Each structure stands twice: as C-alpha cells, then as structure tokens.
Amino acid sequence: MMLSGAEKNRLSFLGCFIWALTALFFLYEFFLRVFVGTIADELSHTLLLGAERLSLIGAAYFWTYGLMQLPVGLLVDRFSLRALLTGASFICALGVFLFAYFPNFPDLLIGRLLMGLGSSFGFICLLKVSLNWFSHKHFGFLSGLSQLVGAAGPVLAGAPLVSLLNRTHDNWQTVMLIVAFFGLIISVLIGIFVRSKPKEVSTQIIYLETKSSLTNALFDLFKNRQSWMIVLYSIFVNTSLAFLGIVWGTTYLEARQITQSKASFICSLIWVGYALGSPILGIVSDRIKRRKSILVFSSFCGIFAGIMLLCSSDHLDWLYMIAFFVFGIASSGQSLSFAVIAEHVKPKTEASAFGLNNASIFISTSLLIPLFGWMIEIAEPDKILAYQQHDFTTSLILVLFFYFMAFILSAFFIKETFCRQQLGPTVLTPNMTSVVER
C-alpha cells in the first residue's frame, strides 16, 4: 500500500528536512572525494610521500566508490534508507578518522577506501529520498538540485579548507579530525531523523504488484532497452567534463594563449554551467512535462560549444567563457538522465537503475581521461615542447562526435515519458472503482 497522489504531492517539513540531511551527506562525500588535492603538499612534506603514492591515496576513494554503485542500488531497493545512510556516513567518518589518526601509507590507503565505500551510498540514497518523499513531477528539479548541492563540496575543499589549514598552522591531522567529527554528527542526525518514506495514512490506496526476486529484478533492468539508451546518453554528454573540466581545460586554454590564472577561471565556468544547468533543466522539464526535448537541447549545447572551439581561430576570452559555460550546461543533461531512467524502469528497480547509470558515468570517465591524454600525447610526442592548439584537435573532434551521438539517441531512440512512470504497477482506489497513476 502507498500514499495517495494528493498526500504525496504535499510538501511536508519532515520530507524537506530529511532531503536536506541526505543532501548534506552528499555534499560531505563530495568534499571527501577531492580534499586530498588541497592537502597534497602537507601530506608530501610530513609523510615524505612521492607522486606515485600520493596518486594512489587520491585514487583509492574511487576504487570502492565505482565498484559499489550497482550493489548500492540493489541494497537501496531492498533495505531501510535510514539504516543504510547511517552506516554509510559512519563509515565515511571512520575512514577520515583513520586517515587522520594513523599517518602512514597503508592506513591512509585504507582510510580512503572506507571513504569511497561509505560515499558510494550518497547520491543514490538522495535520489531515492526524492522519489519517496516528493511527487514524481518534482523529480527532475530535485535530481538537478542534488548536483548543485554536490558541487558545493569541491568549493568547500578549496579556499575554506586552506583557510582552516592556516588557522591550525598547516596541521592537516587536526583538520581531518574536525572533518571526521562533522561526519559523525551527520551520522547521528541521519539515524535520529531520516525515515525511508512517509507514514501511511487513512487516504491510502492499493496497488497490485507481484513480488520479484533479486535475480528477476536485475534481469528486468538489464533487458530494458531504454535503460541502456539512457546510460549511453549519460556517458556521451559527460565527455566535456572528463576532457576539459577535470584534467585538460586549463592546459588547452594556455595553448590558446590564455594566461594560467585566466585559464583556470574560464575552466571553472564549465562547473558553474553544470551546477546551474542541472536544477534549471530539471525545473523546465518538470514544468513542460517533457524529457526528450531537454535531453536534445543538452546534446545540442555540446555540439554548439564544440564547433565554437574547433572553428574559432581568434583568441577571444569571451568566446572561451561562453563555450566552457555552454559545455557545462550540455553536461548537466546527465543529471536529468536519472529522472528519465527512473521513469523507464519498474519502481522496485529504481535505485538499481540509478546505480547502473552512475557507475557507467564514473567508469566511462575513468577510461576517457587516459584516452584523451593518449590522443594529446600522440599529437605532441616531444614533451619538452609546450602544448599547441592543434594538439587538442583530435580530442575535441571526439567530444563533438560523442555529443552528436547523444543528439541522435535523445532525438530518435529514447522514448518520451511525459514525466510519468512507464512501468508502474496497477493502482486502484480503496473502493476499487477507478485506476490512478502511481
């Protein structure tokens, strides 16, 4: 049994508070994802770590995070959100505590693995809370808002973390203990306040649904053609972040005669576009009750930005600023893909679908980054020379090709859902006289 549409549509203070707590954990795990880069110098000097070991410490988080995405989806579909989130946030805090209290390489590595393990629950649980506590018609906006909240994590891991380091005289262990304590507070708050879904009330309705095993649920998900179309779309629209947002953006702009300080600012605009585009595209999609047109628009933005960079021979700051910002909007189409994939699978496999989509984005990014590096290295085999604009041409063409493929998928292969569940169960009112939407 479940709540009626009218009851679920009503925004409750408890629902908003639970969403905010879960979003706070998502922000926390995003902070944990990137903070190592900020304290890299302190780690190197105090522990005498070389570049190789420092890279392993940074990457260890992503090993467990990526491997856990699909299993986390299966767990979220079957167990209490409160129990999973409480345990996940506690594991994150434990990993940070181990990282701070036992400053040697093996323990630092184990601490990062634990952070990745706990963090792997953050985004999927936040999406599930959005589905359970709010009407489905708001899910596009909430999915985008989740990305905006997550983007605040790297911001906090930058200047604010540096400021805290300065206040503690570069004592990174003290700073990490503070971060661990904050994670413990989040765990306690989640354990006290988070509920998986609203309590059933007298306006309940009944729906008919057959119980499926874990194997059948996975089989239903994997044989769903639409889910794979959406996964491919998500991979394609994420390529500009993998290429320009994470590694090569500043270097590319410097090759186009932009100073380092200005290049880093322009490069950051891709994340601004992503952070703003995610909730805005979600709102527009929810309002017009269309998904395909927004997905097509996002892919077209990527094509437009790619052509701008490939065809421009002028070194104009404003042109690069527009192109990078538009690339960010193009990449924000992946946030809407979580709403679309939820509408194309059965309700009992929604979180599993989130995990499949998120894991695909993550794995493809980890493969694309070295691929782009290899393509640039082929173009410029002499590493003594500075990179030139033409060294990045092949990579930009590949990015443009991926956005073109995303356009084809969204325009011709992904079906419109009209912001409604396509495979939901049959729902009946208590007097059994009418059928209503899930």
Name all domains of the chain by residue range, CATH numbers in brackets.
5-204 (1.20.1250.20), 208-413 (1.20.1250.20)
Residue 255 has pLDDT above 50, yes or no: yes
Q: Is 128 helix (H, G, I), strand (E, B) or coil?
A: helix
Position with higher pLDDT, 92 vs 171: 92
pLDDT tens-digit map of 335-381: 999 899 989 998 888 888 888 998 888 888 878 877 887 888 787 66
Measured CA angle at 276 (ends 273, 279), to 5 deg = 135
Question: Virtual CA dihedral for 331, 272, 368, 106, nearest 10 degrees?
Answer: -130
Whole-number pLDDT of residue 364: 85
As a whole number of angstroms, the distance between CA 394 and CA 401 comes to: 10
Residue type, 10: R
Q: Which of 81-95, 280-294, 421-435 has the lowest mean pLDDT?
A: 421-435
As a whole number of angstroms, the distance between CA 277 and CA 331 comes to: 8
Residue 187 has pLDDT above 80, yes or no: yes
As a whole number of angstroms, the distance between CA 400 and CA 418 comes to: 28
CA–CA distances in Å: residue 283 to residues 81, 158, 291, 335: 26, 29, 11, 12
Q: Which of 200, 75, 187, 185 is nearest to 132 (CA)?
A: 200
Residue 2 has pLDDT above 60, yes or no: no
Position with higher pLDDT, 372 vs 207: 372
Position with higher pLDDT, 30 vs 158: 30
Position with higher pLDDT, 17 vs 434: 17
Q: Which of 25-34, 39-48, 275-284, 340-349 has the lowest mean pLDDT?
A: 39-48
Neighbours of 423 (CB within 10 A): 15
Residue 208 has pLDDT above 70, yes or no: no
- Mark 76-111 as b/e (b = at least 16 C-beta within 10 Å): bbeeebbebbbbbbbbbbbbbbbbbeeeeeeebbeb
Residue range 282-305: mean pLDDT, rounded: 94
Q: Which residues contact 268 (CB under 8 A, 6 or more apart)?
A: none
Q: Which residues contact 28 (CB under 8 A, 6 or more apart)?
A: 89, 92, 122, 153, 182, 183, 186
Q: Which of 322, 319, 284, 315 is nearest to 301 (CA)?
A: 322
Residue range 47-69: mean pLDDT, rounded: 79
Residue range 16-37: mean pLDDT, rounded: 90
Q: How far is CA 109 from the centre of its chain?
A: 23
pLDDT band of residue 203 (cuts 50, 70, 90) is very low
Q: How far is CA 264 from the centre of its chain?
A: 22
Check: CB of residue 81 under 8 Å from CB of residue 127: no
As a whole number of angstroms, the distance between CA 128 and CA 179 comes to: 26
How many helices (H) and strands (E) in the chain?
Answer: 20, 2
Check: CB of residue 249 under 8 Å from CB of residue 426: no
Whole-number pLDDT of residue 201: 45
Q: What are the start-end ranges of the E strands in 199-247? A: 206-208
Q: Which residues contact 316 (CB under 8 A, 6 or more apart)?
A: none
As a whole number of angstroms, the distance between CA 223 and CA 151 comes to: 33
pTM for this structure? 0.79
CA–CA distances in Å: residue 13 to residues 83, 320, 338: 21, 43, 25
Instruction: Enter the DSSP assignment of 1.
Output: -
Token pair for 72:
């986390």
pLDDT band of residue 140 (cuts 50, 70, 90) is confident
Residue type, 396: L
Neighbours of 306 (CB within 10 A): 25
Whole-number pLDDT of residue 259: 84
Phi, psi of 358 (to 5 degrees): -65, -40
Tell me what the pLDDT averaged over the chain comes to: 84
